[in-house]
Amino acid sequence: MASIGIAIHHAAALLRQGEVVAIPTETVYGLAANAFDEAAVLKVFQVKQRPSFDPLIVHIGQREDVSRVVKELPPGAEALMNAFWPGPLTLVLPKQPAVPDLVTSGLDTVGVRMPAHALTQELLRSLDFPLAAPSANPFGYVSPTTAQHVADQLGERIPYILDGGPCVVGVESTILGWEGDRWVLYRPGGIAVERIEEVIGRVHPQQRHVIPVAPGMLESHYAPRKPVHLGDVPSLLRRFAGQPMGVIAFRETHPAHRCEVLSERGDLAEAARHLFAVLRELDQSDCAVILAEVFPDEGLGRAINDRLRRASCLNIPSQL
């Protein structure tokens, strides 16, 4: 069973030996390995039971390290890094040959970000390699936002979980890719697209691809085991009447067996911070179904709706 603690030197020693360690970030916990060590990265895929066609994000400790993994910076990249790093923004950029194909699933691009978490920054500074890390959950399940979430699901498979407390952002990073002449949004996340557009102008929506090249393009993702239905809560409550229902609401409570209000004061950042813990709780509760409200489609509300939509992919209302 993994031990849980705050011993950065222990985490660093394990990572230098090619082991996999769970690390805290401001978004969600990551399952980290030496990004330049193919054997260590392979363990990440094994622990997570992740298909090898889904590439990993490379985490760096300081700006100078970008050039170790990225070949060239397209227009706007510097401005984005200046504005949002360290922080929940991942940039998909042309990769250096030193980054193993396993990390990028054979793509010639690499996703890179500088996380804003004091423990992990100190860890990265003590290492002479960057860390490849997906979210520290079994593939397809809800991402972990506490060390205990990681221990519950992957504790048997990894030696150590670095405990940085509950994640303050609570949803994964926003992912942007440079596609030759434009920035494309691959995944809405912890930095609102509106803020990004203030820095680089228009960010383009992603075209539909036949083969998933980007996050969450696999239909079911971020999904609890219980069915999740997204839409107008009063109508959903009528539809499932007679079953114990768990509701995820933004500001106001609903008359259900369980109702979790994510932010009474109507703060989307606060709602995002609580989203995954609440999804896990309701998944483990005695509720038969999980019902969720559609959040305002702005700021972090877009990331919340994206995760809820994927969690409920078999039960999507047609307007989404």
> Which one of Mg ion, ligand TXA, none interacts with residue 120, CB within 5 to 8 A by kind?
none
> Which residues lie across from 92 on neighbouring strands?
111, 177
Nearer Cβ to ligand TXA, position 84 or 186? Answer: 186
99 binds ligand TXA (CB under 6 A): no
User: Which member of 111, 144, 170, 299 binds ligand TXA (CB under 6 A)?
Assistant: 111
Q: What mask, x for binding ligand TXA by CB under 6 A, covers residues 12 to 31? A: -------------x-xx-x-
Min CB(75)–ligand TXA separation in Å = 19
* SS3 state of residue 154: helix
User: Which member of 34, 109, 145, 146 binds ligand TXA (CB under 6 A)?
Assistant: 109
H or E segment to which residue 281 belongs: helix 268-284
User: Which member of 44, 102, 133, 193 binds ligand TXA (CB under 6 A)?
Assistant: 133
Nearer Cβ to Mg ion, position 12 or 171? Answer: 171
User: Which member of 40, 110, 123, 161 binds ligand TXA (CB under 6 A)?
Assistant: 110
Q: What are phi and psi of 175, to 5 degrees?
A: -115, 125
Min CB(18)–ligand TXA separation in Å = 19
Longest dimension (CA), the chain: 59
Q: What are phi and psi of 201, to 5 degrees?
A: 80, -160
Nearer Cβ to ligand TXA, position 109 or 312? Answer: 109
Nearer Cβ to ligand TXA, position 30 or 130? Answer: 30
Nearer Cβ to ligand TXA, position 74 or 115? Answer: 115
Go through 139-155 and write b for each residue having 16 or more CB atoms within 10 A of its CB, e for each that does not.
Answer: eebbbbbbbebbbebbb
Q: What mask, x for binding ligand TXA by CB under 6 A, covers residues 179 to 218? A: -------x--------------------------xxxx--
Nearer Cβ to ligand TXA, position 206 or 263? Answer: 206
34 binds ligand TXA (CB under 6 A): no
User: Which member of 8, 35, 57, 304 binds ligand TXA (CB under 6 A)?
Assistant: 57
Copy the structure tokens of residue 53. Answer: 């066609």
Min CB(288)–Mg ion separation in Å = 26
Min CB(144)–Mg ion separation in Å = 10
Nearer Cβ to ligand TXA, position 293 or 306? Answer: 306
Say which DSSP state 204 is in.
Answer: B
Provide the Cα torsion 169, 154, 217, 221; round to 10°.
-80
Interacting residue ranges for Mg ion, rule: CB under 5 A: 135
> Given strand 3-5, what is the order of strands in its sheet?
3-5, 160-162, 21-23, 30-34, 131-132, 57-59, 109-113, 89-94, 174-178, 183-187
Specify the amino acid at residue 314.
L
Report the length, in residues, of the chain: 320
295 binds ligand TXA (CB under 6 A): no
Whose CA is closest to 60, among 5, 18, 17, 103? 103
Contact 189, 88 (CB under 8 A): yes
Cβ–Cβ contacts within 10 Å for residue 218, how many?
15
Chain residues binding ligand TXA by CB under 6 A are: 25, 27-28, 30, 54-57, 88, 90, 92, 104, 107, 109-111, 115, 133-135, 172-173, 175, 177, 186, 213-216
